Amino acid sequence: MSRSPLRIAVVGKGGAGKSVIAGTIARLLARRGHRVLALDSDLMPGLAFSLGASAPSEPPLNDAAERDEDGRWRLRKGIGAFRAVTRYSTEAPDGVRLLEVGKVSGSEGRAPIMPAVQAFYRVIHRLRRAEPLREWTVVGDLPAGPRQTAFDWAPYADTLLLVAEPTWKSALTARRIARIARARRDPPAVVVVANKVTAAADRSRVARMLGEPVAAAIPADEAAATADRLGLALIDHAPSSPAARAIERLVDQLLDSRLPVVSAA
Amino acid sequence: MLGELEGKEEILICDMEAGVGTVLRMEKGDADVVLVVADPSAKSIEVARRAAEIAAERARVIVVANRVRDEADLEAMRAGLGAHELVEVPEDPAVAHAEREGLAPIDVDPDAPAMRALRELGERLAAQTAPP
Amino acid sequence: MKIAVAGKGGVGKTTTSGTIARTLARAGHPVLALDADSNPMLGISLGVGPEETDALLAARQALDEGEAEHEPTAEGLVETFGTDAPDGVRLVVVSRIDRPDPG
């Protein structure tokens, strides 16, 4: 079983199950000995719940960026990817480090989150070249839809885990994302995961709707829905549930590279 | 965008970008009603709570408590969102079927429970505008 | 009357929007449905079908790419890109994916 670091970004339509899958994968990899950095670039809550982590109250990265004399954003002096991670990430169970862009609470308006957004974007673009983080596994949870993929919010990713429910909206979204991802100069591998599957035929349905192979199918699961309602991590609330077990098998596949991986078209 | 359109003769309904950013950017008068939709998950209730609070400063807010399966779901949503006018829409196999097939739920079964709940909401809202 | 629909992704915003639009149209009201999501799916919930819904996004993107300096007005968009959905609902995809705002 491989311990060389994975670099994964989880994408898909809203509600498909990205955060649950990303958070569960992060915890599982950490349990297998990986040093895991979980990245949350969504302004709405999600990943902290599925990691079983307590979220920071203020966007920690608000301190990390500033404007220069021309009004352009930059990371504050002395802050690179490694220092940003060590200083601004918070601790999650199993030793996972969580770096969040921050959440919009709204009472103070949008302005206060902007430094954090600018800092986060710059940090993730330095991850690949950050020598001290070379051995870290990175699992990123992106917000719903194709927007962040289009704006290069997963430059660290070797693999894009594309999560699709067996619905047309989810499939269309996945198609859009795959198209955008593959248009990049150096496209990541695309791995499709069918989630909340209810029928045996769902896996092939999703494959047909997307026009590409499905690497794994995760069943719809009462326990997962309950975990969601309670705001608990699936891996803590129901570690032996069908969904959790299926995500474990997915992790096995990711580590053994025995996936029907669909790279650049 | 909503602010630029008159909405005098027609009913305008705008499906906005997910999240709180949209209601933050709204000004009073952009919308008459903001429907804030949530499902029984803690994270969606949290987003709805924030969105409803902000939207209430700008328009009338109605929370759509969607995909309610049981009393526990309803309780969770009331706990987070009970301060607002709340409409309950039950989890509905007709809607699930519509989503899978890429259809409008109203074309699958216009009298399904979720459809009845939304029709009722629609009628209440329409009653406040000029008759057709 | 102007109705805006908000919420976290995946909760049923689009299904709610589409269903209310069709319901009101069926009751005889003229309805204009605006899809302001950067991942537009309202067409599906209105009943125009997945492929047509995808085609509407492509048309919107073509506009964005072709007329960068010529930001269309709201009225102009409705005029040019209004499409017919069942029960006489008029649908316009108004979203722009090219806004760099990550939020």
Chain segment C46-101, per-residue pLDDT in tens = 999 999 999 988 887 777 777 544 566 777 777 777 899 999 999 999 886 655 44
Residue A265, pLDDT > 70, answer: no
> How much is the pLDDT for C68?
47
> How much is the pLDDT for A113?
86
Residue A38, pLDDT > 80, answer: yes
Comparing A55 with A7, the larger pLDDT belongs to A7
Size of interface A-B (CB pairs under 8 A): 66
Q: Is residue C9, in this structure, part of any structural domain at all? A: no
Q: What is the pTM of this model?
A: 0.94
Q: Which chains touch B (3 or more CB pairs under 8 A)?
A: A, C
Q: Is residue C88, in this structure, part of any structural domain at all? A: yes
Eight-state DSSP code of residue B35: E
| Coil vs helix vs strand at B66 | strand
Q: What is the ipTM of this complex?
A: 0.94
> How much is the pLDDT for A79?
94
Nearest CA in chain A to B73: A229
- The tens-digit pLDDT sequence of chain B (132 residues) is 777 776 567 899 999 999 999 999 999 999 999 999 999 999 999 999 999 999 999 999 999 999 999 999 999 999 999 999 999 999 999 999 999 999 999 999 999 999 999 999 999 999 876 555
Chain segment A151-166, per-residue pLDDT in tens = 999 999 999 999 999 9
B130/C14 Cα distance (integer angstroms): 25
Backbone angles phi, psi at C6, to 5 degrees: -125, 165
Inter-chain CB proximity A16 and C39 less than 8 Å: no
A133/B11 Cα distance (integer angstroms): 54
Q: Which is it for strands A90-91 and A73-75: parallel, antiparallel or unpaired?
A: unpaired
Q: Which of B43, B53, B58, B108 to mutate to test the interface with A (most CBs of A within 10 A)?
A: B43
Whether B55 contacts B61, CB under 8 Å: yes
C98/C103 Cα distance (integer angstroms): 13
> How much is the pLDDT for C82?
85
Inter-chain CB proximity C36 and B1 less than 8 Å: yes
Supply A52's token pair.
């079983």
Select from A106, A168, A230 the Cβ nearest to the Cβ of B54: A106
Distance from CA of A231 to the nearest CA of B (A): 5
The DSSP code sequence of chain A is: ---SPPEEEEEESTTSSHHHHHHHHHHHHHHTT-EEEEEE--SSS-HHHHHTPPPPSS-GGGGTEEE-TTS-EEEPTT--HHHHHHHH-EE-GGG-EEEE------TT-SGGGHHHHHHHHHHHHHTTT-GGGTTEEEEEEPPSSSHHHHTT--TT-SEEEEEE-SSHHHHHHHHHHHHHHHTSSSPPEEEEEEEEE-STTHHHHHHHHHTS--SEEEE--HHHHHHHHHT--HHHH-TTSHHHHHHHHHHHHHHHT-S--B---
Inter-chain CB proximity C7 and B34 less than 8 Å: no
**Structural domains in chain A, sorted by start:** 7-56+95-104+135-256 (3.40.50.300)
B65/C45 Cα distance (integer angstroms): 18
Inter-chain CB proximity B19 and C29 less than 8 Å: no
Chain segment A170-229, per-residue pLDDT in tens = 999 999 999 999 998 889 999 999 999 999 899 999 999 999 999 999 999 999 999 999
Residue A167, pLDDT > 80, answer: yes
Inter-chain CB proximity C97 and A146 less than 8 Å: yes
What mean pLDDT is reported for chain A?
92
- For chain A, how long is the longest CA-to-CA vector? 60
Q: Is residue C49, in this structure, part of any structural domain at all? A: yes
> How much is the pLDDT for A106?
64
- Check CB contact of A43 with chain B, cutoff 8 Å: yes
Q: Is residue C19, in this structure, part of any structural domain at all? A: no
Q: Is residue C100, in this structure, part of any structural domain at all? A: no
In chain C, the number of structural domains is 1
| Coil vs helix vs strand at B48 | helix
Eight-state DSSP code of residue C73: P
- Check CB contact of A112 with chain B, cutoff 8 Å: no
> How much is the pLDDT for C101?
46
- Check CB contact of A113 with chain B, cutoff 8 Å: no
Whether C29 contacts B132, CB under 8 Å: yes
Size of interface B-C (CB pairs under 8 A): 221
Select from B18, B42, B100 the Cβ nearest to the Cβ of A228: B42
| Coil vs helix vs strand at B63 | strand
Buried b (16+ CB within 10 A) or exposed e, A41-53: bbbbbbbbbbbbb
Average pLDDT over residues A249-259: 85
> How much is the pLDDT for C95?
80
Distance from CA of A78 to the nearest CA of B (A): 31
Inter-chain CB proximity A144 and C39 less than 8 Å: yes
Q: Is residue C103, in this structure, part of any structural domain at all? A: no
Q: Which chains touch C (3 or more CB pairs under 8 A)?
A: A, B
Give A240: exposed, middle or buried? Use CB within 10 Å, 0-12, 13-18, 19+: exposed
Interface of B with C in 16-55 (CB under 8 A): 16-23, 26, 30-39, 41, 43-44, 47-48, 51, 55
Q: Is residue C15, in this structure, part of any structural domain at all? A: no
Distance from CA of B40 to the nearest CA of A (A): 6
Select from B47, B72, B100 the Cβ nearest to the Cβ of A45: B47
Residues in chain A: 265
Chain segment A69-113, per-residue pLDDT in tens = 999 999 999 999 999 999 999 999 999 999 999 998 766 554 578
> How much is the pLDDT for C71?
61
Q: Which of A19, A20, A42, A44 to mutate to test the interface with B (most CBs of B within 10 A)?
A: A44
> How much is the pLDDT for C80?
75
Inter-chain CB proximity A168 and B102 less than 8 Å: yes
A228/B41 Cα distance (integer angstroms): 5
Give B19: exposed, middle or buried? Use CB within 10 Å, 0-12, 13-18, 19+: buried
10 Å Cβ neighbour count for A68? 8
- Check CB contact of B85 with chain C, cutoff 8 Å: no
Question: pLDDT tier at C8 (50, 70, 90 boundaries)?
Answer: very high
Select from B11, B37, B51 the Cβ nearest to the Cβ of C29: B11
Per cent of chain A over pLDDT 90 is 86
Residue A32, pLDDT > 80, answer: yes
Domain containing C81 equals 31-93
